[in-house]
Amino acid sequence: MFDTPFQYINDTLHVEDVPLTTLAEQFGTPLYVYSRAALTSAYQAYAHACAGYQAKIYYAVKANSNLAVLDVFARLGAGFDIVSGGELARVLKIGARADKIVFSGVGKSAAEMQAALNAGVKCFNIESLAELHRLHDIAAHANQTARVSLRVNPDVDAKTHPYISTGLKSNKFGIAFDEARAAYRTAAAMKHLEIVGIDCHIGSQITEIAPYLDALDKILELIEALEADGIQISHLDMGGGLGIRYDAETPPAISTFVHTLLTHLAERGHGSREILFEPGRSLVGNAGILLTKVEYLKPGADKNFAIVDAGMNDLARPAMYQAYHDLAPVLKHRNPPPAALYDVVGPVCESGDWLGRDRTLALKPGDLLAAHSAGAYSFTMSSNYNTRPRAAEVMVEGKQAHLVRARETVEQLFAAEMKLPD
Ligand SMILES: *Cc1c(COP(=O)(O)O)cnc(C)c1O
């Protein structure tokens, strides 16, 4: 199978057939670079494992919502899992079919619900009774019917970082397992709602299959109880969450993951049910890097710092979750400077502004570094903190590099602001 699109050729790190040095010259740094081949390969791993089942892939847009990324997946046949009106506008912009959009999220506003209802989305993934009532009111007012799935919290431990674990009782997500049957009865009695499915999403960066099997068993138990109550469940949405390798993690391969779940479903007599997967990270995470330049080296008594031109506003994951990103030199020097232990930090005025700690690197000012595994939750979480324009984004396809988001200008950052009147 396709391994990584990021390889050294003649001591220079390439993405597909393009040297990263060329991209830095052409587009500047910091720069996000994605590989179309890697996006395609990850999608195909899901699609091939789904063949022979009624299983579908709904890409979780929040992982990377660039229009070019969405377009690549739409062309491959993906549906989309969205969590805001903004994401709805993005997927409609690239021409996604409304019946291939599911709307998730705990805090959908009335305006967002209205927009999704007007668009005709496949279903709303509902996370609370209050939300169910609001959606019913909106649908009734518009004299329409909203298709719904209830997100059930199966109370399983996904064994991931507390900030990205979502399937425990203590999390804000989903309807408690013990309350789900009653919630379905409430929904079934609402004239302007049509129950179409059930969903769960137990967390992110999950590197074991066992928690999914536990969740699946609980959801199947619930489906059987609901169908005994006369409530038909046409699709089962397993959410996303499959982890990727950032460092030394050993997540199951996409094909193994999907195959194990689908086989388990078939063994339990649900082999012909419509199944949805909502992968985000596992489709895009290892298809992107953040390219950054070393501005200064600052040796110290306790620590050496390499100060680079990408900061926590560009890549928030280390500051936010102590996340690890491999930091690799773009050029392997013929006569390398002596290697030293560095904290690789950004220019933002926060001590939490770091990309990597205690990394052994042989660096000179001006060197380029690639922060690997930066395709997911990276650009989408970037900000303008310190009035820093957000990075440009490029998608590589073989020998070609397409600019898919222009670098922001400083003027754009305050164009919507105004001074008080004189
Ligand atoms: C974030 C999210 C996903 C995607 O999670 P990944 O870990 O990126 O695969 C899928 N479904 C829902 C409801 C989500 O909130």
The Cα angle at residue 128 between residues 122 and 130, in degrees rounded to 5: 105
Question: Ligand 1 centroid vs 20 CA: distance in angstroms?
Answer: 30
**In this predicted model, what pLDDT tens digit does every residue of 217-249 receive, in sequence order?**
999 999 999 999 999 999 999 999 999 999 999
φ, ψ of residue 96 to 5 degrees: the values are -65, 145
Q: Do β-strands 193-199 and 235-237 pair in parallel, antiparallel, or remain unpaired?
A: parallel
Q: Are 80 and 89 in contact (CB under 8 A)?
A: no
pLDDT at 157: 77
Confidence of residue 312 (pLDDT cuts 50, 70, 90): very high
**In this predicted model, what pLDDT tens digit does every residue of 362-382 receive, in sequence order?**
999 999 999 999 999 999 999
Where along the chain do its domains lie? 6-34+285-413, 105-277
- Which residues participate in the annotated binding site for substrate? 281, 317, 321, 350, 377
**In this predicted model, what pLDDT tens digit does every residue of 205-218 receive, in sequence order?**
999 999 999 999 99
- Give CA separation, 366 vs 151, 327, 363, 389, in Å: 49, 15, 9, 20
pLDDT at 142: 96
How far out from the chain centre does Cα 349 lie?
Answer: 27
Which amino acid belongs to residue 9? I
| Average pLDDT, integer, range 70-85 | 98
Which amino acid belongs to residue 313? N
Q: Which atom of ligand 1 is nearest to the CA of 205?
A: 7
Within a 10 A sphere around the Cβ of 118, how many other Cβ atoms?
12
Q: Say how far apart CA 33 and CA 289 lie, in whole Å.
A: 5
Cβ < 6 Å from ligand 1: which residues?
A: 60, 62-63, 81, 83, 104, 201, 204, 239-242, 278-282
Q: Which atom of ligand 1 is nearest to the CA of 377?
A: 8
Q: Say how far apart CA 81 and CA 79 lie, in whole Å.
A: 7
Instruction: Render the burial of 182-206: b for 16+ CB within 10 Å, e for the rest.
Output: ebbeebeebebbebbbbbbbbbbbb
The Cα angle at residue 261 between residues 4 and 174, in degrees rounded to 5: 100
**In this predicted model, what pLDDT tens digit does every residue of 318-352 receive, in sequence order?**
999 999 999 999 999 888 899 999 999 999 999 89
**In this predicted model, what pLDDT tens digit does every residue of 246-260 receive, in sequence order?**
999 999 999 999 999
N residues, the chain: 422
pLDDT at 156: 87
Cis peptide before 211 (omega within 30 of 0): no
Of the candidates 273, 139, 119, the residue with the CA atom closest to the CA atom of residue 196: 273
Please provide the DSSP assignment of 251-285 as one string.
Answer: PPPHHHHHHHHHHHHHHTT-TTSEEEE--SHHHHG
Question: Ligand 1 centroid vs 241 CA: distance in angstroms?
Answer: 6
pLDDT at 400 > cutoff 80:
yes
**In this predicted model, what pLDDT tens digit does every residue of 147-184 receive, in sequence order?**
999 999 998 877 666 655 666 666 778 999 999 999 99
3-state secondary structure of 408: coil
**CB burial class (10 A; 0-12, 13-18, 19+) of residue 341?**
exposed
- Catalytic residue status for 200: no
Strand partners, 304: 342
58, 65, 81, best to mutate for ligand 1 pocket (most atoms within 8 Å of CB): 81
Catalytic pick among 50, 123, 200, 349:
349
Kindly report the average pLDDT of the chain as a whole number. Answer: 95
pTM attached to this predicted model: 0.96
**Residues with Cβ < 8 Å from 371, sequence gap 6 or more?**
289, 290, 291, 292, 310, 315, 325, 326, 327, 355, 356
CATH number of 6-34+285-413: 2.40.37.10
Strand partners, 185: none
- Domain 105-277: CATH class, spelled out: alpha beta
- Give CA separation, 77 vs 26, 80, 98, 245, in Å: 32, 10, 13, 25
| Average pLDDT, integer, range 51-70 | 98
**In this predicted model, what pLDDT tens digit does every residue of 105-123 receive, in sequence order?**
999 999 999 999 999 999 9
Within a 10 A sphere around the Cβ of 311, how many other Cβ atoms?
26
Q: Which atom of ligand 1 is nearest to the CA of 206?
A: 7
**In this predicted model, what pLDDT tens digit does every residue of 276-305 receive, in sequence order?**
999 999 999 999 999 999 999 999 888 899
Q: Are 271 and 265 in contact (CB under 8 A)?
A: yes
Q: Which helix (H) or strand (E) holds 396?
A: strand 392-397
3-state secondary structure of 133: helix
Q: Say how far apart CA 310 and CA 293 lie, in whole Å.
A: 8
Question: Ligand 1 centroid vs 173 CA: distance in angstroms?
Answer: 12
If you ran DSSP here, which 8-state letter would residue 242 be given? Answer: B
| Average pLDDT, integer, range 82-89 | 98
Question: Ligand 1 centroid vs 84 CA: distance in angstroms?
Answer: 13
Which amino acid belongs to residue 162? P
- Which residues participate in the annotated binding site? 241, 278-281, 317, 321, 350, 377
Q: Which atom of ligand 1 is nearest to the CA of 283?
A: 9
Q: Say how far apart CA 408 and CA 392 lie, in whole Å.
A: 7
**Residues with Cβ < 8 Å from 255, sequence gap 6 or more?**
45, 48, 49
pLDDT at 164: 59
Of the candidates 172, 164, 168, the residue with the CA atom closest to the CA atom of residue 154: 168
Ligand 1 atom 10, closest CA: 240
| Average pLDDT, integer, range 180-201 | 97
Share of the chain above pLDDT 70, in %: 96
pLDDT at 1: 38
